[in-house]
């Protein structure tokens, strides 16, 4: 007869398989809905013909699918997965169930880089390449440079500070400092510059084109793949730093790896899509509640899929009947706040919260 431990592991694996299968189905359904529903509704069979390479008699539909909606769906799924994984890594690293990617200050660093381009330079970098393409390149470059600067600062402090709590506080202080500089730039900028920056800060998944999607996908998938290799150290961290060290985990190396992965994922999404809130905070809790487990071997893939599902759902909700979209950051709090309030109110009943 199997002992109780093996039965629990088997039950956890079965439940994990069912949850992952359900999330895969949900992701496919939501992706199909995002491809068919929009300012121009396109029949599902026509969408399938276009995607499968058969083609469509309607050239406009084919252009909408290939040039707009396919990159949009891919970007939303990858962004949701990336932010969710980054949030999970931060919550495990800092042993704080309310930590999220923005707590590191990387999002603020990206925002500061974009603010410098839009508000201080007035988009002048864009004139080097042409108004539209150059503006996009300059904003992307500003976001990446800002995020890289904050991440490098955090990595430097991680070599000097041993306590995860102190490092968390340093990240929060850096975020406040970046926000202060952004406020000053907004105060001294023109009305047009402030308006453009505010629109960027609302977040959207439509800024990634077919030409930039491969770069976005490669960086995101490589970072997610790297996180999957750290399941055992992450599980050990759940039991405390001393226990993790007794198991042979190199805490400094693991912490630096987690910071680098989470920072890279957050910076990439922020640079391409703007600062997207709440997904990194909420989705890891959704995954844990679905699995009733904190084992990262099953929690990481479940969190990745749940992040993609939540992002695709928010994107679908954002589509207006007429032309246009509601900003993503106007929708994510509506989804995230009730879940977080529920978790806080029921924290004594939720095993992983304690």
Question: Do the beta carbons of residue 203 and residue 276 sit within 8 Å?
Answer: yes
Query: If you write DSSP's letter for every residue of 48-98 in order, what string do you get?
Result: HHHHHT---S-HHHHHHIIIIIHHHHHHHHHHHHHHHHHHHHHHHHTT-TT
Contacts of 33 (CB under 8 A, 6+ apart): 316
The pLDDT of residue 336 is: 86
Residue 319's DSSP bridge partners are 325
Q: pLDDT (tens digit, 9 = 90+) per residue, 205-256?
A: 887 888 889 989 999 999 999 999 999 999 998 888 788 888 888 888 888 8
SS3 assignment, position 325: strand
SS3 assignment, position 319: strand
Q: What single-letter DSSP state applies at residue 158?
A: H
Contacts of 232 (CB under 8 A, 6+ apart): 249
Q: Round to the nearest angstrom and report the end-to-end CA distance of the chain.
A: 33
pTM of the model: 0.86
The pLDDT of residue 228 is: 93
Q: Is the pLDDT of residue 57 over 90?
A: no
Q: 57: buried, middle or exposed (CB in 10 Å: 19+, 13-18, 0-12)?
A: exposed
Q: 30-37 long-range CB contacts below 8 Å, 24 or more apart?
A: 30/309, 30/312, 30/313, 30/316, 31/73, 31/77, 31/312, 33/316, 34/69, 34/72, 34/73, 34/76, 34/312, 34/315, 34/316, 34/319, 35/65, 35/69, 35/70, 35/73, 37/316, 37/319
Contacts of 180 (CB under 8 A, 6+ apart): none
Q: pLDDT (tens digit, 9 = 90+) per residue, 333-344?
A: 888 888 888 888
Top pLDDT among 323 and 237 is at 237
The pLDDT of residue 136 is: 65
Q: pLDDT (tens digit, 9 = 90+) per residue, 2-47?
A: 455 555 565 567 888 899 999 999 999 999 999 998 878 888 888 8
The pLDDT of residue 97 is: 80
Top pLDDT among 133 and 306 is at 306
Contacts of 243 (CB under 8 A, 6+ apart): 236
Q: pLDDT (tens digit, 9 = 90+) per residue, 117-166?
A: 888 776 444 443 334 445 667 777 788 788 888 878 877 887 787 776 78
Nearest in space to 32 (alpha carbons), one of 73, 91, 84, 64:
73
Top pLDDT among 168 and 180 is at 180
Q: Is the pLDDT of residue 305 over 60?
A: yes
């Amino acid at each position: 007869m199997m002992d109780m431990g093996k039965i629990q592991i088997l039950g956890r694996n079965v439940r994990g398989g069912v949850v992952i299968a359900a999330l895969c189905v949900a992701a496919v359904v939501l992706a199909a809905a995002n491809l068919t529903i929009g300012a121009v509704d396109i029949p599902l069979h026509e969408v399938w013909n276009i995607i499968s390479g058969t083609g469509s008699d309607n050239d406009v539909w084919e252009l909408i699918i290939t040039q707009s909606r396919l990159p949009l769906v891919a970007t939303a799924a990858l962004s949701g997965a990336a932010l969710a994984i980054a949030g999970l890594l931060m919550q495990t690293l800092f042993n704080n169930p309310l930590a999220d990617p923005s707590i590191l200050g990387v999002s603020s660093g990206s925002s500061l880089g974009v603010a410098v381009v839009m508000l201080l330079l007035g988009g002048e970098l864009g004139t080097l390449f042409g108004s539209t393409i150059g503006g996009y390149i300059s904003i992307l470059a500003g976001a990446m440079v800002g995020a890289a600067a904050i991440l490098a600062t955090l990595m430097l402090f991680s070599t000097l500070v041993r306590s995860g709590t102190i490092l968390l506080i340093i990240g929060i202080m850096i975020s406040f400092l970046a926000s202060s500089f952004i406020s000053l730039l907004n105060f001294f900028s023109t009305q047009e510059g402030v308006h453009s920056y505010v629109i960027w800060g609302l977040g959207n998944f439509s800024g990634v084109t077919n030409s930039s999607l491969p770069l976005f996908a490669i960086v995101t998938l490589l970072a997610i793949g790297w996180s999957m290799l750290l399941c055992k150290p992450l599980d050990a961290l759940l039991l405390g730093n001393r226990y993790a060290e007794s198991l042979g985990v190199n805490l400094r190396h693991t912490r630096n790896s987690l910071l680098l992965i989470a920072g890279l994922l957050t910076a990439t999404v922020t640079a391409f899509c703007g600062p997207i809130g709440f997904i990194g905070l909420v989705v890891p809790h959704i995954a844990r509640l679905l699995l009733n487990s904190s084992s990262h071997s099953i929690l990481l893939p479940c969190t990745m899929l749940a992040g993609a599902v939540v992002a695709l759902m928010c994107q679908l909700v954002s589509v207006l009947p007429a032309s246009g979209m509601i900003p993503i950051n106007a929708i994510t709090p509506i989804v995230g706040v009730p879940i977080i309030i529920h978790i806080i109110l029921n924290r004594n009943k939720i095993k992983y919260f304690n």
